[in-house]
Structure 1
Amino acid sequence: MKIIIEVAIGFMLDIIFGDPPWLPHPIRLIGWFISKGEKLLGKAFPKSQKGEFMAGAVLAILVTAGTFIIPFLLLYFLSRVSIYAEVAVASLFCYQILAAKSLKTESMRVYYHLKNHDMANARKYLSWIVGRDTQNLTEEGITKAAVETVAENTSDGVIAPLIFLVIGGAPLGFLYKAVNTMDSMIGYKNDKYLYFGRFAARFDDVLNFIPAILSAYIMIGASFVCGLDYKNALMIYRRDKRNHSSPNSAKTEAVCAGALNVQLAGDAYYFGKLVKKKTIGDNNRKIKPDDIKTANKLMYATAFIAFVILCGCRLVVSGGIK
């Protein structure tokens, strides 16, 4: 029951406040350790394919172990002092692991600049939340990229961490976020990270496999709740859920594309190079900036439904309220 209370407090704090820039964020600290570890281990291992892979694997193991052990020990010692102090700190951790409000805030910033026909700032703020090149994107391209990132991050930024939090509290949530952060930083299939980031990328694929499937089905239910085309969402999910180089990323993108009756994904530029990608969904209508708002509405509905289901399952497994 204690974990449910901590997750519930963290969930509501995230929905209300998001990620204030003045509040020190542990994920940024994790990112700093990844960057420092990359430099140190890159020098310690041979400059070969095997050496780079081993360096990346050691980095992944050290970062994930540290991000689990440190909050686990901190919360353990706090529990010996005061249960209230433990719950307060654990709730704060849960709050900082979740990213629903910040996802909405950042994507809606792009939306507002699009509505004001400020393409320069729309591209600028989009570049903060996507990995592709944004400097030459049209209004349609910007909108599509924003909708895609909301859809994809509904899984790995909201539902997946929520699952790990409900299972193992803040320490397990931090472990997940460490792997997810490593994948976003070094999990690229380019010359620099092809071997160094491979272990982290595969680790992220494994951790997200089941959460991505659960997220997709919950999002289909949320499509019904939001009055969107849930039947098409299910159809497109079944058809296009593998239309991505990552085994997990296309799942919620497919649901969102089907629910909105638009086409997502397709070719994009990364680091100046054109990457050929399959499309997701049908081009039934032209995507428009308001679809960013609808994608966020769908994301929030998915988050609330997942929260209720996951906490209910935790209560059942733990034997009810005690």
Structure 2
Amino acid sequence: MQNVSWLVIPAAFLLDLLLTDPIHFPHPVRWMGKAIERIEPIFRKLPVHLVVSGSLFCLTLVSATWFLGWLSMRWAYAISSLFGWLLECVLLWYCISAGSLAEASGAVVHQLFHHGIESARKAVSMIVGRDTRTLDASGVLRAALETTAENFVDGVLAPLIYYAIGGIPLALAYKMINTLDSMVGYRNPAYLHFGKASARLDDLANWLPARISVLFIAIAAQMLNRQGQNALRTAWQEGAEHLSPNSGLPEAAFAGALHVRLNGPNVYHGILVEKPYIGKAFGGVTPRHVFQSIDLLMLASLLAAGALSIAIWLQHI
């Protein structure tokens, strides 16, 4: 059984806040992306339907990631308990991204204020999958806030939940699932069949964390500006109005907490995708809302980290 320590979560969270995501450090998630790129052509050549080859591709990479995580932790703890614990902290730090999310969203506003719309479009294109070339200032700000809300789940809460359940191997396996979805889980001609298993597995992996996220967002919203009830109400009433079975819930909770309208039509890979608005009764996103969303993200992340640390501690007393 993999070691799970309650102290790892606060240590990893502190590392994330202090160091965010150093570009020049070795990073397992970037290695996952390179593995996906190199292995995809091999599985595409299999003499089976693309849904089958894509499923085998997904299963192989997720299983291999879990096994490498398990092997790494077993090796580290065989050297010493301290070395094993330190490696756990570093690997979990790599799995979460509250600090880099806050930094990236703030950079969008900074670019808009100081360098204009083109710089802001470029900044937001680094964190969203939509076409940003025609976005106006309101669209750029909305995209930044939406990615902050949505990524609270896959960038913070879900990795912590899976660490609490199954240690570093399961947290790393979750990040591979999430990376697969971001790279091949598209509904376009190239990946409609091959990426289907990756997209469905990501939906399944995020189902519970997305629903738990609403609770942490609502508590944080209540503590910050007494909007917890609005966050819960909007998530309940409009969270399902999204193409994703999961992303709409945290987005709706953020929309209710901040009184902003999110989602709506967007262009992806040159195709206009008509999506309903979330938070229909509210107005557009302003720079102030983006900074408020960062505060909401950080407090919700802190609450989640604290709650899961306590849950692990209670299991071991």
TM bucket by the smaller chain? over 0.9
Question: Which of 263, 266, 285 is the matching residue for 1:265?
Answer: 263
Q: 2:51 aligned with 1:85, yes or no?
A: no
What is the aligned partner in structure 2 of residue 74 from structure 1? 72
Alignment of 1:222-233 (within 5 A): 222-233=220-231
- Note if contact 2:163-2:170 (Cα within 8 Å) is conserved in structure 1: yes
User: Residues of 2 paired with 1:29 and 1:97: CA distance?
Assistant: 13
**TM-fit CA distance, 1:200:** 0.7
**TM-fit CA distance, 1:154:** 0.6
What is the aligned partner in structure 1 of residue 209 from structure 2? 211
What is the aligned partner in structure 1 of residue 153 from structure 2? 155
**TM-fit CA distance, 1:283:** 4.1
- Note if contact 1:237-1:258 (Cα within 8 Å) is conserved in structure 2: yes
What is the aligned partner in structure 1 of residue 47 from structure 2? 45
Alignment of 1:115-126 (within 5 A): 115-116=113-114, 118-126=116-124
**TM-fit CA distance, 1:2:** 5.1
What is the aligned partner in structure 1 of residue 166 from structure 2? 168
Question: Which of 6, 9, 12 is the matching residue for 2:8?
Answer: 6
User: Residues of 2 paired with 1:69 and 1:228: CA distance?
Assistant: 45
* Structure 1: gaps of 5 or more residues: none
What is the aligned partner in structure 1 of residue 28 from structure 2? 26
- Note if contact 1:263-1:284 (Cα within 8 Å) is conserved in structure 2: yes
Q: Give CA deviations for 1:99-155 in whole Å, capped at 9, x if unaligned.
A: 111111111111101122511111011111101000010000001111000000011
Question: Which of 277, 291, 295 is the matching residue for 2:293?
Answer: 295
Q: Secondary structure at the match of 2:208?
A: helix
The amino acid across from 2:239 in the alignment is K
Q: Give CA deviations for 1:14-69 in whole Å, capped at 9, x if unaligned.
A: 111100111111100001111111111112234xxxx1111111111111111111
What is the aligned partner in structure 1 of residue 196 from structure 2? 198
* Same amino acid, percent of matched pairs: 34
What is the aligned partner in structure 2 of residue 274 from structure 1? 272
User: Residues of 2 paired with 1:92 and 1:231: CA distance?
Assistant: 36
* Structure 2: gaps of 5 or more residues: none
The amino acid across from 2:78 in the alignment is R
Q: 2:61 aligned with 1:59, yes or no?
A: no
**Structure 1 residue runs of 4 or more that deviate by more than 3 Å after TM superposition:** none
User: Residues of 1 paired with 2:201 and 2:283: CA distance?
Assistant: 37
User: Residues of 1 paired with 2:34 and 2:207: CA distance?
Assistant: 26
Q: TM-score, normalised by structure 1?
A: 0.95
My pick for the range that moved more, 228-237 or 79-88, is 228-237
What is the aligned partner in structure 2 of residue 234 from structure 1? 232
User: Residues of 2 paired with 1:97 and 1:268: CA distance?
Assistant: 28
What is the aligned partner in structure 2 of residue 251 from structure 1? 249
Query: How many residue pairs are counted as aligned between the two chains?
Result: 315
The amino acid across from 2:110 in the alignment is Y
**CA RMSD after TM alignment:** 1.3
- Note if contact 2:260-2:279 (Cα within 8 Å) is conserved in structure 1: yes
The amino acid across from 2:19 in the alignment is F
**TM-fit CA distance, 1:295:** 0.7
Q: Secondary structure at the match of 2:275?
A: coil
What is the aligned partner in structure 1 of residue 112 from structure 2? 114
Q: Secondary structure at the match of 1:116?
A: helix
Q: Secondary structure at the match of 2:267?
A: strand
My pick for the range that moved more, 67-76 or 135-144, is 67-76
Q: 2:177 aligned with 1:179, yes or no?
A: yes
**TM-fit CA distance, 1:87:** 0.9
